[in-house]
Amino acid sequence: MIFLQLFWEFFKTGLFAVGGGLATIPFLKEISLKYPWFTPQDLMDMIAISESTPGPIGVNTATYAGFHAAGLPGALMATFALVLPSVVIIIFISRALERFRDSKLVQRAFYGLRPASAGLILGAMFEVFLVSLFHPAAYHGLATLGDFLNLPAIVLFLAVLAAIRKFSSVHPIFFILAGGICGVVFQL
């Protein structure tokens, strides 16, 4: 039964997450709330690691969740289910696109997918930003501002932002490594 659940959830994620890895985040958050395969906090950690390592977020998360749920066979099932819709759609589109390349309807459909993808990515970015810099779970009406703000993360974010502006010629890998080290050291 677990393999069927893994397949179904990650198949849906792969089918509807148009726009790449970041577009999978809303679907992955929903999975984290529905099943015990990974927590929302695990998802935030996986996003941070996936953004600084090779491989798309969705595939890395599917592999992790599948492994956590059912070992190596679960990891293979979840990863396969996530990429299957893309492979099938690419095969059909590549065959049909040659025939309908000049169709105004097809061009408009692709044009219409752009804002949907951008919206999914923007929503995911906002959620990661919110969870990283604030403690929304600690906010219960009249809580103090200190309980709501993650001050070390905000200070680190502002410092990195200032460093990026000042040292714009430095390769981004150095900022990624510095952010990872600070996250480990400060337990952010």
* Whether pLDDT at 98 is above 70: yes
Q: Please give the pLDDT value at position 34.
A: 92
Closest CA to 65 of 42, 85, 83: 42
| Number of residues assigned to the chain | 188
pLDDT band at 148, cuts 50/70/90?
Answer: confident
Distance of alpha carbon 130 from the chain centroid? 14
Give the count of beta carbons closer than 10 Å to the beta carbon of residue 134: 15
CA distances from 48 to 134, 175, 180 (A): 16, 13, 8
* Whether pLDDT at 143 is above 80: no
Per cent of the chain over pLDDT 90 is 16
The pair of structure tokens assigned to 178 is 């510095």
* Whether pLDDT at 11 is above 90: yes
DSSP character for 35? S
- Highest mean pLDDT among 4-18, 122-136, 164-178 belongs to 4-18
Cα gap 38→29, rounded to integer Å: 9
> pLDDT tens across 54-97, in order?
778 788 888 888 988 899 999 999 999 999 998 998 888 788 77
CA distances from 122 to 22, 45, 47, 103, 152 (A): 9, 19, 14, 30, 24
* pTM for this model (two decimals): 0.61
> pLDDT tens across 22-66, in order?
778 888 889 989 998 888 888 888 777 777 667 787 888 888 889
What residue type is 174 in one-letter code? F
Q: What is the mean pLDDT of the chain?
A: 82
Q: Please give the pLDDT value at position 132.
A: 79
